[in-house]
A and B are shown apart, each in its own frame.
Chain A
């Protein structure tokens, strides 16, 4: 490909001229250090390039060359447990090459070229296969069996297939397509800005169980759904994201640290190998892929990092896995867009963000979903996306929040006021919502209990009543309330402190199964129900509130998962207390 030269350098934006045959979103190598960049605009003879690395030290007349390829990720064995930068360069390899600090212009293979994987063929010679069909498998980690699929666009009769130990670059299979022979390797490529093909999109029907009570019971997200967590700093967005990455019942987790703190990525890197998956007992890192573009890493790679993450997530979805992607934080991505837009001197929209902000966000979230995978068999996979948003000053009128709310179905509203009271997760129970309740009602009705959603509704009603009663209390004091209203306040407090409040750092409290969540909620609501009956029999509320059983209810969340039968005893105890009054 013929070379051009640099005309202008302004931060991460480089303008080059005389680049022949470049296309929009092609990857180019910029300057003498061969920095990696992407074409984001073309005008006559000039190309606008966003460079994914620090541009200090390059200047006009230095060469620019096109690669003719769009920004792509490499998909194949070796992804799991890895940590990559925004354009999928493995950070561990960069560390071996350049030490503790990230040097520039490093061009390294995205997947390990030397490592041998044991490939087990699943098709035999003479079979007809199409795009997405599984030709073999590789047991990548104890938790993940990677399925090697026919790359998009290929189909035909298998003319060669071999099992055995291979690297990602060796040909493991050959197809005859339209009379031509095509090679299939374990690694395939896909441009990050295009959604991978699927046969059909399906409506989500199962909850993504996260073990977080306020999420699973009150505002659930479905497998294949989308959710957002906006909140001011210090309200616990990252802790919620980490909790989801740890405990969500997805088979693959892709965690994108987009423009956030370096120490947070280190935390994940150090903690995940130690934490055990509650279902399999294996370390969580064995199902996790990390993309890290910390806030001091180049700003344009931040823009690419969410696409890199979601393309990797789609690849696992295509294998039929349940995948969840956490992006922390999408605001930093939007700011990267804004910065590039400003340097391109585009007409700004709201708050200086480009006018195409909401389109980009919508495109991104729309890549989530439950799908019928593109292949000849019936295979379903799902990709759920949870994005954190960091609005300035916690102001929800921020354009990024508003554009996000238009596309996502679940809104977890984090509030700093709750965080100050150390009520975690600081998800406001009055403002948050989930639009997946209808989707999952059959599932929870069958698996947990038909009255699960009924109880949930009652509990939310109580909390809403609490909010309006509190206003009255503020005006006239608590004495003026009726016994029933005071009971409502007491139960709402119990719901807040004994059910919604959940300590991420407590070994027992950090994860609660859906079954236990139901039992706990039922216990609190049953006490409320019986107390209400007692009041109607003219029993004194103050006496009821002194019952010792309430202390046991308060501690019920610490009951270990394997002693879940204890709830039955507590339930009986509550009944006994009210019978023996």
Chain B
């Protein structure tokens, strides 16, 4: 059983291929990390899965049901996947209270909600991400970056997804609050049994979050496997290059010694 499966997924913008023949399958309750550099196609995959970008080939299965196209079944399948955006400053409508933003997302459950139920649910979700529920009426401007990112996570949860896609969720945050967001995601996963597709360019963060890593380069997956073995013995030259480029605290970086002119 897989929560999310990509089968030979291809995406192109105009005539330019950005993702080619990518397959992966995400088991329930697990995390797959997708690592790669800018332009490698990671975010295109995220957009395609939630229906924000058209695909040019292959299939996307959510809980075994194809989530491709405009049909009712596909739309329902897509609702099982929610996306957390990179920049918490543009991910919340500046003129809508955070409570309303979260309430709007309950639409994705496909159920009818009464006012009271919705109100209750918003408070519950805010509490869950550790924002005081009494602040539901505040506009996003009143919150710090880390809090906003937690609120966008609450909004994603309001859709009651089985799969969360976290697209560079810490890149726009200051170092000191990145940890909170990562901890929260891990905790939610344990409590709710979520499956997470964790996308980042930061290998250390992906390593920390994921059970399994897929390395992307130029629109294709060049190497994949369970986290530890893959990082201990990378086989693809690109993975090796990536691994050697990550700085390690307190350790002098090694450079090839060139003959200097």
* Binding partners A and B: no
